Amino acid sequence: MPEDQLPSGGERPLDAIDEAILRLLRNDGRASVRSVAERVHISRANAYARINRLVESQVIRGFTARIDHERAGQGTCAYVTLKIVQDSWRTVREQLARLPGAAHIALVSGDFDVLLLVHTSDNRQLRELVLTRIQAIPEVLSTRTLLVFEETDLLPEP
């Protein structure tokens, strides 16, 4: 059996070096393989192989930039909670994913079914998004909008 796989066919568990690589790349997705190797004290070939394995096994789902939404003209941020028709999650998720400014969608338990994070240019655009676009989705039974006053990304320590 390949050493990359567990007997159940699942992926090999992450070790301390893999976790250190993930922390480094989460803080700086543009870090070079050489830099990663030096900082976790392994060879470049080992770092390259580990990063490729993490990408191929979809532990790393991609590389992206962290955006300052206010500076990008999206100064209004809100969480929108939705109650939806039972068994309509996949349909609703597809429609929400196409909304301008949608940043994160989660199916949750509790008093509501869906939690949606959105970024818009201002409150007027937020109002339009919620009242015209989201509430027009037939499977959406109700919404509640929670305006975000300030947000902080929590990143691992370098």
Q: Determine the Cα–Cα distance for residues 113 and 78; give it in Å rounded to an integer.
A: 16
- For the chain, residues classed under CATH 3.30.70.920 are 70-148
Q: How many angstroms separate the first and last alpha carbons of the chain?
A: 35
pLDDT tens for each residue of 75-131: 999 999 999 999 999 999 999 999 999 999 999 999 999 999 999 999 999 999 999
Q: In the CATH hierarchy, which fold is given to the domain comprising 16-57?
A: Arc Repressor Mutant, subunit A (1.10.10)
Separation of alpha carbons 79 and 51, rounded Å: 33
Residue 9, pLDDT score: 46
Pick the CATH number of 70-148 from 3.30.200.20, 3.30.70.2340, 3.30.70.920, 3.40.50.970: 3.30.70.920
Instruction: Cite the residue boundaries of each domain of the chain with CATH code 1.10.10.10.
Output: 16-57
What are the pLDDT digits (tens) for 59-75? 999 888 888 888 888 89
Taking only the tens place, the pLDDT of each residue in 12-66 is 789 999 999 999 998 888 999 999 999 999 999 999 999 999 999 999 998 888 8
